[in-house]
Structure 1
């Protein structure tokens, strides 16, 4: 090929490459700036990940010995086959109680800076400890839990290998469980692929839904960033849990929680709804407010809201379309919650987009747990 012809052809190729690059850049720049794909989970400097620690945490996550009665593992309220949460309005409670809030999925919990519905824990380590020892959850006591772990030779060896201690320590158990939970992430959803530049990963309905999510429906005012949660607190008018009207055990548990968290006598006697983050600040402007949950993996985590009062994503969309609901704390309801006027087609498109925030279901077989043995003998 003549030199001149090669020069012209090279210019054409370069021009084509440049055009493709410019088109890709322009396409990427059209992605909503308030949203982002999910990257690797943050790992705290004082609890680095190791394969051995993760494997120990997996065993402990499924081990019922880390509970008061030896029958309530983390997985009792976070079932892998049920979205890594509990498939009912209110989570499973410690025997003799029920819980009083909806169980949230563990998937992508590694990204939260505020865990639990009222943000009471600031790390997965603190969350694991609080759940295992909470009166209506694990109801465990430190000395009893540590003694049980110490009577398992395999645990003694694993804790020594991972943490360098002769016997298991509970603070190390929470660290191991947190390390395992930081592996339960999903970063390969259709939405993530789209936000990374793959224009084909969302279909036409999902793209229309994305436009509604960031536009007319106003969802991204609170569900933004890579986690799709700003982690702030709002009252959106979710009605009170209906079980408090006809379930005696639920009513007793609710009254216990009001008392245990420092309610006044009048609140204890009169409240018919969950005060939410009020308990942390004791300021009435926080009554009925809860932390914004991530919308990731929600395809598998019904029912929804802090008390499970909305059964499906379709109900969630209609709830917001109607301008939220009404509860006992109407004085703190967010002004962001207004009727949306979505058409049936728009609601269908919005649902299609919400489903793009979930990838394939994440499942896991329960591990075989190590047995007890008499201390010092190595025999069962």
Structure 2
């Protein structure tokens, strides 16, 4: 038997509610192949180039911060700390998200600031507290690597490596970092034994009493909408001077009012994109896939384990500076300890084996022949 319709397991009241069709949760399902944009088709050569660029620090301001610095395969393709690493002399201000299955998102970053993996790669490479690179300098470095000159000519037809094409290659590589064979996927594809009894009970809770599937739905287990769930502010802003400096820098750079710049003590989230007060403290629903390896959790890493996450929601979320915007969906759940155990067991079924490729050997820069500069 295939398990393609799960709302019958416990969401009957939700499906029968008077929600408009576009507001109803999408049914849970197995994850299929990632979407590939027509303007950046996949080829083995492009993916191989993107893999090297992902692990090469050449695309950063100081030639020392590769994509993999903040998306380390052995750390869930993220950073297993509250806040991601920052460019030397800075720190970051948000938790590093895994790139596993990032190919399926319609928008990237916690507040949806990038509309594609190509744009995300550019934003990360150039971000003041991330790669801090300049396109022209990074492009010049690529031109000093014979292997890259040859690869860009083969893949894109470039006379000299184009930084825009570098971001396209990295995006193509990221679209290969997907996981579609988790126990949950296997169960949804008809293998009744892929989930144990605790995980099946947890699935019933996920789609029913715990109400998780209202926001964590569809094959990605994310509705890609934005909510304030009451996650408390990052505690490092209390006593870490560098973290405070970075936070103030971000507030200023992203367009705060003078009053907000001086008084805000929490991450405004989606507000930075919309400038609507009602969006303060809202962040995109993250996928729950691969989360066994991406601890700690939430946009600022303030919740340490998957069980802590379930307890957080069971207690009705938390409180932050933007409490007026807290979602009405966040209510105490009334789960017992055994039910929490079952729900955590189900969440663990959303991750398969760790994806741990061997990092490629990256090429080195060499001086150009003087004749090439004439």
Q: Same fold (TM over 0.5)?
A: yes
Pick aligned residue for 1:272 from 265, 268, 276: 265
Structure 2 regions of 5+ residues with no counterpart? 8-25
1:105 aligned residue? 98
Secondary structure (helix, strand or coil) at the match of 1:165 reads: coil
Q: Matched residues in 2 for 1:285 and 1:216: separation?
A: 28
Question: Does structure 2 conserve the Cα–Cα contact (< 8 Å) formed by 1:57 and 1:179?
Answer: yes
1:258 aligned residue? 251
Pick aligned residue for 1:153 from 128, 146, 159: 146
**What pairs with 1:352-371 in structure 2 (closer than 5 Å)?**
352-371=345-364
Question: Does structure 2 conserve the Cα–Cα contact (< 8 Å) formed by 1:28 and 1:196?
Answer: yes
2:196 aligned residue? 203
Q: Matched residues in 2 for 1:66 and 1:341: separation?
A: 49
**What pairs with 1:1-380 in structure 2 (closer than 5 Å)?**
24=1, 28=3, 31-32=6-7, 34-376=27-369
CA RMSD of aligned residues (A): 1.1
Structure 1 regions of 5+ residues with no counterpart? 1-23
Instruction: Give the aligned length.
Output: 353
Q: Deviation string for 1:247-267 (max 9, x for gaps)? A: 000000000000000100100
Q: Deviation string for 1:191-211 (max 9, x for gaps)? A: 001111111111100000000
Q: Matched residues in 2 for 1:133 and 1:62: separation?
A: 16
Query: When the two structures are superposed, what TM-score results if normalisation uses the length of structure 1?
Result: 0.92
Q: Deviation string for 1:40-87 (max 9, x for gaps)? A: 000000000000000000000000010000100000000010000011
Question: Does structure 1 conserve the Cα–Cα contact (< 8 Å) formed by 2:5 and 2:28?
Answer: no
Secondary structure (helix, strand or coil) at the match of 1:328 reads: coil
Q: Matched residues in 1 for 2:273 and 2:294: separation?
A: 26
Q: Report the CA distance shift for 1:29/1:367 in structure 2 as closer, same or farther (over 3 A).
A: closer
Q: Matched residues in 2 for 1:224 and 1:44: separation?
A: 23
Q: Deviation string for 1:132-185 (max 9, x for gaps)? A: 000000000011100100000000000000000111001000000000000000
Q: Larger deviation: 119-128 or 368-377?
A: 368-377
The runs of 4+ residues in structure 1 deviating greater than 6 Å are: none
Query: When the two structures are superposed, what TM-score results if normalisation uses the length of structure 2?
Result: 0.93
Q: Deviation string for 1:199-241 (max 9, x for gaps)? A: 1111100000000000000000000000000000000000000
Q: Deviation string for 1:307-342 (max 9, x for gaps)? A: 000010011000000000000000000000000010
Q: Matched residues in 1 for 2:179 and 2:166: separation?
A: 24
Question: Does structure 2 conserve the Cα–Cα contact (< 8 Å) formed by 1:31 and 1:195?
Answer: no
Secondary structure (helix, strand or coil) at the match of 1:200 reads: helix
User: Highest CA radius of gyration, 1 or 2?
Assistant: 1
Cα shift at 1:31: 3.6
Q: Matched residues in 2 for 1:34 and 1:364: separation?
A: 32
